[in-house]
Amino acid sequence: MSQLLLETPLVGWHVAHGGRMVDFAGWRMPVQYASIVEEHLATRRAAGIFDVSHMGRLAISGTAAVEWLESLLTRKVAGIEVGRVRYTLITSDAGGQPVVLDDALVSRDTDAADGTTRLALVCNASNRDRVVAWLTSRLPAAGVTFADRTLETAMIAVQGPLAMQIVGSLCTPADAARIAGLGNYRATSAVVAGHAAAVSRTGYTGEDGVELVVDAAAATPVWEAIHAAGAPLGLRACGLGARDTLRLEAGMPLYGHELREDSDPSAIGLDLAVNLEGRSFPGAGHYCGLRNHPAGRVRVGLTFDSKRSAREGDAVMQGDRQVGVVTSGSFAPTLGTAVAMAMVDRDVASPGTAVEGVIRDSRQPAVVAPLPFYQRDKRRA
Amino acid sequence: MAADLKFAKTHEWVRPEADGVLTVGVSSYAVEALTDLVFMQLPAVGRKVKAGESFGEIESVKAVSDLYAPVSGEIVEVNAALPGNLETLGKDPYGDGWVVRIKADNPAEMDGLLDRAAYDSLVGSQPH
């Protein structure tokens, strides 16, 4: 470890509870506490609590804030209502060729007391520095205030069928009811375990749940309160390992794997993240062209009949022809078998198509499968 | 646990048996560190291996790890029941969790391995 790692306000808790700490995107994070499989299954069956404070949290405010973000993000920001959260890409054309810098959530917070519009952007830890640099380079002379709040706040995800019940039990009845009534991709503010929190009904696991942003000083008490309330119901603390297997089963792309600088969003199934109508974000014309002229490989799921998975970078073959490359792969604990996501040629992208994953020096049969691999039973909620 | 075990720095253990063959397995430290084992690949019986050469692999949810031959020799037996019962590795790593038996070309290669105390001090100094 040659350079100093950033630490979240919860690092002491992780270490004290057996977290195996690794360098993730410059942060010292728990990859697991005991078993990735047990943490994964606890999230599916009851709930999991995740420290996601490494994610970038950027605050944007001012009279021109909406207009400014509207000019930069692939999703519409103009007209965004208070409490709305949108999944977006951040693109740049600084180098001539448009690139996808990151994927992110943009949301509109309650206006400040003086009426100032406030928005928030949550981006990936691995891309925070360049996203901040890019946005800073595009700041207008006036009307927008932009601040990186990552280090002064913490972000805690509570995910799973019991997540809402557990978080609600730590709120006043009025706040609990408001949180329970949040639609997906909606946000509000509430007091959770005695601390002010921004609460959004979002996540990266395929389960119901919320993500909370609190002041750094409130992180450990809020985490401990949720853990104490949830543990008797089966909640477990989960590391980044389970977060990755959960999002893989849920078919969610991860920047640097499925989603890359040169990605065609349409080809990875992210048309909904790119609103092209009347838009002029960086590269809008380029992405419009890609949508109108589909070409290149597309993202698919692969299911294996073994527990042994192809991993990122492994070739996907059909006979002697390489038809694709794996972008993420793992044993999927909920399914009991190995799955992967891959970019493959369009002629083999139909579900049911038989291919093979090249795992080291052997070939493992796989079948193209629709994404997501796992979908929660929404009637349960 | 038997004191006659020797260890490779790559976490395999070796036990000389009465018939002169060496039993090889994976240390409890390594099994615990890997966690969530999902797959194991064993070599073919009769394969010749060189000390330090990969003779198989063990895969957890998170990563694939090679199994390295602690000494040069011939694989004379494999624990064929193990890949289908990977939990045995954690329950009984120095007994039923054995992996292969190797007929060593040069038993003196054993001298290059670590004794229990040296191995414990090696893994004790590693971040868990």
CA distance A227 to A235: 7
CA dihedral A251, A202, A54, A189 (to 10 degrees): 180
Let me know if residue B81 belongs to a domain: yes
- Interchain pair B38, A34: CB under 8 A: no
Let me know if residue B75 belongs to a domain: yes
Q: Which two tokens stand for residue A378?
A: 């929404």
Q: Which of A323, A329, A366 is nearest to A348 (CA)?
A: A323
CA distance B53 to A311: 23
In the predicted structure, residue B2 carries a pLDDT above the cut 80: no
pTM: 0.94
Q: What is the 8-class DSSP label of residue A177?
A: H
CA distance A342 to A243: 19
What's residue A381's pLDDT? 47
pLDDT in tens, A206-246: 999 999 999 999 999 999 999 999 999 999 999 999 999 99
pLDDT over 90, % of chain A: 96
**Is residue B61 classed as helix, strand or coil in its secondary structure?**
coil
CA distance A315 to A311: 9
What residues make up the domain containing B39? 12-122
Report the domain count for chain B.
1
Taking CA–CA distances from B58, the nearest residue in chain A reads A308
CATH of the domain at B40: 2.40.50.100
Q: Which two tokens stand for residue A137?
A: 């380079």
Q: Mean pLDDT, to the nearest integer, of A99-116?
A: 97
Q: Which two tokens stand for residue A296?
A: 């290149």
CA distance A321 to A345: 11
Q: What is the CA radius of gyration of chain B?
A: 13
* Triad A213, A168, A107: Cα angle to 5°: 35
CA distance A348 to A21: 40
CA distance A162 to A47: 6
Let me know if residue B76 belongs to a domain: yes
CB contacts of A31 in chain B (<8 Å) are 62
pLDDT in tens, A34-72: 999 999 999 999 999 999 999 999 999 999 999 999 999
Task: Please give, one letter per residue, the 3-state secondary structure of A258-301.
Answer: CECCCCCHHHHCCHHHCCCCCCCCCCHHHHHHHHHCCCCCEEEE
- Interchain pair B61, A311: CB under 8 A: no
A239 alpha-carbon distance from chain centroid:
14
What's residue A299's pLDDT? 98
Let me know if residue B6 belongs to a domain: no
3-state helix, strand, coil in chain B (%, to 5): 20, 35, 45
Task: Out of A37, A338, A360, name the one closest to residue B36 (CB).
Answer: A37
Residues 59-118 of B with CB under 8 A from A: 59-62, 64
What's residue B3's pLDDT? 61
Q: Which domains does chain A have, with CATH numbers?
A: 11-53+152-249 (3.30.1360.120), 296-381 (2.40.30.110)
- Interchain pair A36, B59: CB under 8 A: no
Let me know if residue B3 belongs to a domain: no
What ipTM does this complex have? 0.84
Let me know if residue B127 belongs to a domain: no
Let me know if residue B7 belongs to a domain: no
